[in-house]
Amino acid sequence: MQPAPLFKTIGVISRPRRANLSAVVPQLLQWLETRGLRVIYDEETASALRTPTKAFTREELADQAQILLVLGGDGTLLAAARVAAPRCIPILPINMGSLGFLTSFTVEELYPALEETLAGRSSMSERVMLQVEHLRGETVLDRQHVLNDAVVNKSALARMIELELSIDGDFVCRYRADGLVLATPTGSTAYSLSAGGPIVHPAVEAFVITPICPHTLTDRPVVVRDSSSIEVKLAGNAESVFLTLDGQKGIPMQSEDRLRLRRSPQCLKLIQPPKKSYFEILRNKLKWGEV
């Protein structure tokens, strides 16, 4: 007799237009339903079925599900995190993309991972998130919570931008650069890494501030405590400058706009392979030690 599953309702979120979904999804849904689970899914998952029943928006999925199964790459997971984190719903990520630092389970590990998770034997990592407020004067225009990063950058043809950085009320410096990345430890392996920032272990209580192609070569990445209050002011010319949140949402900025960033009250519960360490995942993804 099988033990009762830890979760009763599972939501499935898939990467849009992924060719191999039709080879995975029908069998997956059948496997889940035979174990007495209520399975709900988004429109992308429904597109892989011959006779789909009702598909839900991702917000509706998160309102009803006790766990989200994400089929895709890191971009799909970041989109799912936007609805999962506010509701404290864990995510089980299955990598159907390419690199995938966050989606650390392979398709071949899908069913063993589900068995362990449903039995309550999975390994859970709580990932710190960043709260980002966009201010114009003293008015908060927008408030978002991101898992990876907030990026201020210019369009391809725009000139260098000027940004003033303050931490806990103390002025740090004035950057002239193509942009600035403000990343969590989870996001340290994303855009920040490409811009020359350090890799930060997810357990380290810190944020990374990385300039993108700075005019002054001594402007280097800075690591600060995640209890810090960080403020970035857009100074000088602000033509074609955007704030991008987790690569999912872009917001145009104006001269003198400010960003106020601090540790979010939200966190993401991410299910991980119990037998794979963080460094093993890094070695595999970054091809460390290969000749």
The answer to whether 94 and 74 have CB atoms below 8 angstroms apart is: no
Q: Long-range contacts: 188-193, Cβ < 8 Å, 24+?
A: 189/101, 189/282, 189/285, 190/74, 190/101, 190/148, 190/149, 190/247, 191/148, 191/149, 191/151, 191/247, 192/149, 192/221
Of 42, 74, 149, 226, the catalytic one is 74
Q: What's the CA gap between 116 and 67, in Å, rounded?
A: 13
| One-letter amino acid for residue 64 of the chain | Q
Name residue, tokens 């992308």.
Answer: 44
DSSP 8-state code for residue 152: E
How are beta strands 149-154 and 139-146 bridged, if at all?
Answer: unpaired
| DSSP symbols for 49-78 | -SS----B-HHHHHHH-SEEEEEE-HHHHH
DSSP 8-state code for residue 203: T
Has 246 been annotated as catalytic? no
The answer to whether 240 and 157 have CB atoms below 8 angstroms apart is: yes
Which bin fits 36, alpha (ψ -120 to 50), beta or left (φ > 0)? left
Distances from the Cα of 234 to the Cα of 6, 249, 258, angstroms: 48, 19, 6
DSSP 8-state code for residue 247: T
Judged on CB neighbours under 10 Å (0-12, 13-18, 19+), 156 is: exposed
User: Would you please indicate which residues are annotated as catalytic (active-site) residues?
Assistant: 74
